[in-house]
Structure 1
Amino acid sequence: MTEGHGFVLVDRPKDDVAVVTLNRPERMNSMAFDVMVPLRDVLRGISDDNAVRVVVLTGAGRGFCSGADQSGERGRMPNIGGLTAVTIALRAMELLDEIQVTLRKMHQPVIAAVNGPAIGGGLCLALACDVRVAAESAYFRAAGINNGLTASELGLSYLLPRAIGSSRAAEIMLTGRDVDATEAAAIGLVSRVVPDDQLLDSCLETAADITRWSRPGVELTKRTLVDSLDASSFEQHMHAEGTGQLLVRLLTQNFEEAVAARKEKRAPEFRD
């Protein structure tokens, strides 16, 4: 069953997986307010939905997300009555920032199914996800520099160097060139490339691989991976990792169940 939230769709192909689709294909799913406001709200709602274990984010049609909407019909920001243009612009940027932060803070891992161009803010959306899988037709561009602006937006200069290294990130951001799917996989921007017609099925297979493990194990793994990007020291981060590991080890029977399942040659049944 498909749930409609304006220009954002939510499908539940399995009980524990939600597929969130940006659904304005005629504009390449650009970041108009009437797409981004419901996206923010949908992501927040799914994060609190305990039935959902993994989220897949993708775009309708032939593109993932083309970044800023340049059509002049960007929809309307909520709650802007009485504000001047400068303050409205600040609120608009805050809205987009909230989406990036929400993706990283969601209880569930988020898989970006990049089905075509991921340009500017679209690249940023993909980078905020935990796993990125590209269709063969996908490509990536840090488009701010192409538009006479900075290439840095929505955390791009933070996330991209951490994903592919500072030198590669600088070259891509400063030249504004396209990175095709093959190169994206080679430099670690995406985990793999699949044929276009296999993209969603491939991401759902990864989701199934994740959901067979325990909920606290998966949630804490996501949290420590995100926190590692901000860790002030290796030793401090090891302490945080160790605390999470002990939490699950001492307060659940998951470890004992995993050992027993391997001995009995069956799938484990984690009850957390």
Structure 2
Amino acid sequence: MSADFVSEFVLVDRPRPGVAVITLNRPERMNSMAFDVMVPLRRVLDDVKHDNDVRAVILTGAGSGFSSGADHKSAGAVPHVEGLTRPAFGLRSMQLLDDVILGLRRLHQPVIAAVNGAAIGGGLCLALACDIRVAGAAAYFRAAGINNGLTASELGLSFLLPRAIGTSRAFEIMLTGRDVDAVEAERIGLVSQQVPDADLLPTCLAMAQRIASFSRPGIELTKRTLWSGLDAATLEGHMQAEGLGQLYLRLLTGNFEEAVAARAENRDPVFTDDK
């Protein structure tokens, strides 16, 4: 598997057609969210978003950690902050991290988090911003802000975690700052499945390849409506968005007819992006 050079801390591989693997590559710091990592990651997400050869994305970490969150020893350099006061510097720093979380959500392509170890604080937020999460046996999760004398609410965590696992569990995990191991994470729905560590990337690659085999607009609109459902103020409004997506694909592609024909002929469908 060859890697595209992005920076020494962020690598992009294309191991299979239609699939990109983004690896946070600072294992000696457990892939912490230092700005030396987050700045190139933000650029990578923008590049991948506009790469029409990529139809599914996997985000993972090098070594034994997914991401350990804030780097308290080596935070790295924030660009374009010369001459700013401390409050303004803080705002720019937070905006950069916000851009990364929102960048994952705004990718056209579905993103699978291959959580191979610690996902702590901001690392948990990174995993939650992905569309699907799969955990290796060594994975564990922690809302760490409360342990550091801060709020546990950061980078969308208090929005995303209750929607992933329910309010009572989210409140308890965020207010106690305890670890959630891979077995519990699967049981409560924080991840869709947990697998042996050696099977983590192969499992995610197989999942990504399956996603990449479907209609591009079908996959993209499904991702959009799932996320809009989390934001929806009313069921009625969300159902209208879902209906428009279905109508769009039904009228503008021949993929529904192809799926029906493939089932009748006992073969795999071959989807296209237009008629």
- Asked if 1:242 is matched to 2:243, the reply is yes
- Alpha-carbon distance between aligned partners in 1 of 2:225 and 2:65, rounded to the nearest angstrom: 31
Helix, strand or coil: the match of 1:64?
A: strand
Q: SS in structure 2 opposite 1:224? A: helix
| CA distance in structure 2 between the aligned counterparts of 1:140 and 1:40, rounded to whole angstroms | 23
- Shift in Å, 1:262: 1.1
TM-score, with structure 2 as normaliser: 0.97
Percent identical across equivalent pairs? 68
1:32 corresponds in structure 2 to: 34
Runs of 4+ displaced beyond 3 Å: none
Q: 2:107 — aligned with what? A: 106
Q: Deviations over 1:147-173 (max 9, x none)?
A: 011100000000000000111000000
Which has the higher mean CA deviation after the structures are superposed, 260-269 or 173-182? 260-269
Aligned length: 271
Residue in structure 2 matched with residue 231 of structure 1 by the alignment: 232
Provide, for residues 241-271 of structure 1, a one-character-per-residue CA deviation record: whole Å limited to 9, x for no partner: 0001000000111111111111111111111
Q: Note the 1:89-168 alignment, pairs <5 A.
A: 89-168=90-169
Matched, 1:63 2:65: yes
Distance 2:253 2:156 in 1: 37
The one of 16, 19, 36 aligned to 2:18: 16
Letter in 2 for 1:17: V
Q: Is the Cα contact below 8 Å between 2:16 and 2:209 reproduced in 1?
A: no
Using the TM superposition, give the Cα deviation of residue 217 of structure 1 relative to its aligned residue in structure 2, in angstroms: 0.5
Structure 1 residue 70: Cα displacement: 1.3
Deviations 1:8-65 (A, max 9, x none): 0000001200000000000000010000000011011101110000000000000000
- 1:58-87 deviation digits (Å, cap 9, x = unpaired): 00000000000011x221111112212221
**Following the alignment from structure 1 to structure 2, what is the Cα–Cα distance between the partners of residues 142 and 43?**
24
For 1:61 and 1:84, locate their aligned partners in 2 and report how far apart those are by CA, in whole Å. Answer: 37
**Structure 1: which 5+ runs fail to align?**
none
> In the aligned structure 1, how far is the partner of 2:85 from the partner of 2:13?
38
Q: Are residue 169 (structure 1) and residue 153 (structure 2) matched?
A: no
* Correspondence for 1:86: 87
Tell me which residue corresponds to 1:220: 221
TM score, norm. by length of structure 1: 0.98
Structure 2: how far apart are the matches of 1:4 and 1:29? 17
Q: Distance in 2 between matches of 1:26 and 1:120?
A: 18
Alignment-mate amino acid for residue 11 of structure 2: L
RMSD: 0.7
